Structure 1
């Protein structure tokens, strides 16, 4: 039985991907194959990097990619509120559709797998995660359950109750940026049944902000596959994983009150911040030296030797671009609302 790791990437997150791959190589405790799922077609740097690593491959199966994009599209087109809101905001009919490509892992090459967002660093061995998959179908290790349930499911409460019939639903939600599962745990009949339920009205349960996360949580909770979250079940032993926490750094490995982290997640920090840092800009990123260590582990000669702040004109240009981009979005939204009132 093959264990493996998946991640989702394109050239925009190239620096983060290199850091992740290097952290896996030195901290996993053994060689674990990695498969990169393409976020889109911007892959020149990614292809070149993959070609240098014997244990890393790029998912090229368009049939699998198309299958899961179609599945996600059907699910979200059944969400009437999402279709209205996204249309009003000038967004595609499925917001962040490419993020759903991580579901390709379910039809992938590994029997057991762990999915990492590209903005993640591995800090310790993973065998205990793979071992837990002997008894469970879906395994997580995060604290999403401590957040408001509305970030995952924000539809009508009665509809939620009808769909899940679970008083412990809050304890079962998870972050879709890091999870472990088994290949083909969702059979074709199960997937067809889930789509039927979504189209019958249950799609409206899902929250809109992180659509891939909402859909993954729906699939796991609604199908009632065997689920385990270390952060819920082993509170005394589990460590944190979010960049906002205070960790100790020893030899480029992070520790939480003396316990070695499994992974560090840079969730919500824009990829552009890492790109600028690697270009020599003085960007304040948490655990910056740790990130740079793994990013340039194999190419220390390329690591910036000093960091400078961007010039005033550059800062002003960035602010101006951001300001006018927001203005343009607001104008577009007002126009769409005005148009809809007239013609509908």
Structure 2
């Protein structure tokens, strides 16, 4: 049985992808990691991650392109803000029998294989407090509750789509297409008001298809939160803690990672974990950089 990690990336998020892989490899040097290209501009990030971290390209790019085209036929052009974000769904049809999907705006603080072990007892895992802090926001519209599409217990399992895991056997291609077509026929079920794309659709798929789900924050041992917008986490030797509990990961969901962002120094540490950090530009260079951007 093969187990590993999928990420979605292109050259635009290369720096974030390097930081993520540095953190993954710090705790597990061997676990397979596959890159699902977000679009055709992925050669730089693919080469970098392959050389430095042993990351492989999703092996069936023809299928990936076919899947992307299928999404375009299922959903109206104005239905999804960024249709290519749906490419993460091909994780169910890749080479890994059990897998984690991790967004590139994440840093992990432990061996990611630890989370995969929970798939011994369920078909889907996540690890976040979206159900408590956000409720149905950025997932479902009120119609989904009013029409009784899901039970209250099911709605309590909504999750953020940046860190989750499942099994290849959990869904077939035919069933996924069927569920995606259901989604396309009911725009009123979903909350796209903040510009999200894949999260509402993925939640619908999971709640409809996989009855055995586990949110790791709800397990007896529990797990702390993960959002970089939370200001109370404390850094101990480049691992964040919520009181005495170490975080599994930190997610800059909805937050641009740049100087001044929450936990910026932590991100910088992992980005330059295996190389020298470039010197800060002087005031003259900063002025030139700003002027160059304005004239582009």
TM-score (norm 1): 0.75
Out of 261, 272, 287, the residue aligned to residue 296 of structure 1 is: 272
Q: CA deviation at 1:247?
A: 1.6
Contact kept? 1:138, 1:226, Cα under 8 Å: yes
CA distance in 2, matches of 1:232, 1:76: 34
Change (3 A) 1:305 1:175: same
1:220 corresponds to which of 197, 206, 222: 206
SS in 2 for 1:179: strand
Structure 1 match to 2:98: 112
Q: Equivalent of 1:287, from 253, 259, 263? A: 263
Describe the shift of the 1:220–1:317 C-alpha distance in structure 2 as closer, same or farther (beyond 3 A).
same
Single out whichever of 283-292 and 106-115 deviates more from structure 2.
283-292
- Residue 102 of structure 1 and its aligned partner are, at CA, apart by 0.8
In structure 1, what is the equivalent of residue 139 of structure 2? 152
In the alignment, what sits opposite 2:43? Answer: 44
Corresponding residue of 1:339: none
Cα root mean square deviation, aligned: 2.7
Aligned positions of 1:123-142 closer than 5 A = 123-142=109-128
Question: 3-state DSSP class of the match of 1:64?
Answer: helix
1:14-72 Cα offsets, whole Å, 9 max, x none, are 111111111101124x5211111111111232132133146311225223313432443
The CA deviation string for residues 96-133 of structure 1, in whole angstroms up to 9 with x for no partner, is 01111111111111111111101111111233321111
How far apart are the structure 2 equivalents of 1:313 and 1:139? 44
Match of 2:280 in 1: 306
Q: Alignment partner of 1:118: what SS?
A: coil
SS at match of 2:17: helix
Question: Alpha-carbon deviation of 1:73?
Answer: 3.2
Give yes or no for contact 1:75–1:198 (8 Å, CA) kept in 2.
no
Q: Which SS does the other structure have where 2:176 is aligned?
A: helix
Unpaired segments ≥5 residues, structure 1: 78-82, 87-92, 274-282, 322-344
Residues paired across the two proteins, number: 290
Q: Does 1:176 find its partner at 2:152? A: no
Question: Is contact 1:239–1:261 with CA below 8 Å preserved after alignment?
Answer: yes
* Residues 286-295 or 187-196, more deviating: 187-196
More helix per residue: 1
| 8 A Cα contact 1:119 1:267, kept in partner | yes
> Alpha-carbon deviations, 1:288-337, whole Å to 9, x = none?
2221121112212xx1333657449938976x99xxxxxxxxxxxxxxxx
Counterpart for residue 335 of structure 1: none
SS of 1:6 mapped into structure 2: strand
Asked whether the 8 Å contact 1:73–1:94 carries over to 2, the reply is no
| TM-score with structure 2 setting the length | 0.87
Rounded to whole Å, the distance in 1 between the matches of 2:234 and 2:281 is 24
1:337 corresponds to:
none
CA contact (8 A) 1:159 1:205 kept: no
- Distance in 2 separating the partners of 1:207 and 1:75: 18
Return the index of the structure with the highest Cα Rg.
Answer: 1
- Please state how far the C-alpha of 1:184 moved relative to its aligned partner: 3.6
CA distance in 1 between counterparts of 2:293 and 2:175 reads: 51
Give the corresponding residue for 1:338.
none
Following superposition, the deviation at residue 220 of structure 1 comes to 0.7
Instruction: Give the distance between the partners of 1:284 and 1:308, measured in 2 at CA.
Output: 17
Q: Are the aligned partners of 1:17 and 1:118 in contact in 2 as well (CA < 8 Å)?
A: yes
For residues 55 and 144 of structure 1, what CA distance do their matches in structure 2 show? 32
